[in-house]
Structure 1
Amino acid sequence: MPKTPHAESAAVPIVFEAEFIEGLTSIFEVSIVFNQMLGLKITSITPDKVKASIAMRPELVGHYAYNRIHGGVISAGLDAMGGLAVMAAIGARHMDEAPSQRLHRFAKLGTIDLRVDYLRPGIGEQFELHAEVMRLGSRVASTRMEFLGADGKLLSTGSAAYIVS
């Protein structure tokens, strides 16, 4: 008699507590002063994907004739987003801990490797940044990031590796 496949139970989606979201936002937007200088503002944090935005300002111009955002702003923004995605993934992995305890796990987080591909000029008034973790190991996490124009057009991509322990 052939075996019939059994239906796997659907995984319950992880929802972060307000305390954890507020703590991550405080770390990202307040404690990391460089993110303030870039103007990075978190728009969404889930265990699978993080999103933020950057509003164009004169201090971020890289090419004066075209009012193009500086490549360093793109690179730094993508790096920061990759780190935030890793923080969210670590937070989701340790949901059995209190939010304050999970927030202390990020002390050793650091970038090991970063690659950025600039696909189109960064011209606009507003930019979106997205990041997701491709693999979260016990020591290293790998991420993929996107830098988009206000119209949703992909301007740059990034991939990075982060030390997590």
Structure 2
Amino acid sequence: MSSSPLLAQISRLMNEQIPFHRLIGLEVTRFASDISEVQFTWKPELIGNAPQGILHGGVTATALDMCGGLVAIASVVEGLPHDTPAAEVIQRISRCGTIDLRVDYVRPGRGDTFITTSHIIRSGNKVAVARMELHNQDNMLIAFGTGTYMVG
């Protein structure tokens, strides 16, 4: 079984089937084990500081967490034998979840489009660790984080 169609299916699931992600407007734009990317567009419902009109810190943390989880899941899927049945792959990734998340807010969240990227630091049989960054459309760093994810 090729992992590329499965990764595409998981990406669609994350884009369309998680209500909170849809509410925020998160969209998976790249989903691979080397780097994953999530984007969203500014909208007034995402304001966390009304007088300054800046992004809510919880939205920032959610985008970072989702992107870190994606790269962790992708590393699990791509590390499985190619003949692993799809049902087994889905069962394995359904047990994935966030163990720990650290977010460092560098600048106020201002922009029109926000891009979150993630890279794997370590991926083991039970736990994966990812590094994530959130930039605006001008490539200004807004926040970064480290996430630890249960993957097995």
TM-score (norm 2): 0.91
1:114 aligns with 2:106: no
1:71 aligns with 2:57: yes
* Corresponding residue number in structure 2 for 1:90: 76
Separation in structure 1 between the aligned mates of residue 12 and residue 32 of structure 2, nearest angstrom: 16
Seq. identity, %: 32
Separation in structure 1 between the aligned mates of residue 69 and residue 79 of structure 2, nearest angstrom: 15
Query: What are the Cα deviations for residues 111-150 of structure 1, in whole angstroms up to 9, with x where unaligned?
Result: 1110000000111111000011111111111110000011
Contact 1:91 1:103 in 2 (8 A): no
Query: What are the Cα deviations for residues 56-79 of structure 1, in whole angstroms up to 9, with x where unaligned?
Result: 111101111222010000001111
Mapping for residues 45-56 of structure 1, pairs under 5 Å: 45-56=31-42
Q: Letter of the aligned partner of 2:108 in structure 1?
A: P
Q: Letter of the aligned partner of 1:161 in structure 2?
A: T
Query: What are the Cα deviations for residues 79-110 of structure 1, in whole angstroms up to 9, with x where unaligned?
Result: 11111111111111014135734333211111
In the TM superposition, what is the alpha-carbon distance from 1:43 to its structure 2 partner?
Answer: 1.3
Separation in structure 2 between the aligned mates of residue 53 and residue 118 of structure 1, nearest angstrom: 18
Q: What is the root-mean-square deviation of aligned Cα atoms in Å?
A: 1.6
1:127 aligns with 2:114: yes
How many residue pairs get aligned? The number is 150
Contact 1:16 1:46 in 2 (8 A): no
**Stretches of 4+ moved more than 6 A in 1?**
none
Q: Which runs of 5+ in 1 are unaligned?
A: 1-14
Cα 1:71–1:99 shift into 2, 3 Å? farther
Query: What are the Cα deviations for residues 8-61 of structure 1, in whole angstroms up to 9, with x where unaligned?
Result: xxxxxxx852x2133112221122211111111111122200011110111101
Larger radius of gyration: 1
Separation in structure 2 between the aligned mates of residue 41 and residue 27 of structure 1, nearest angstrom: 10
1:148 aligns with 2:135: yes
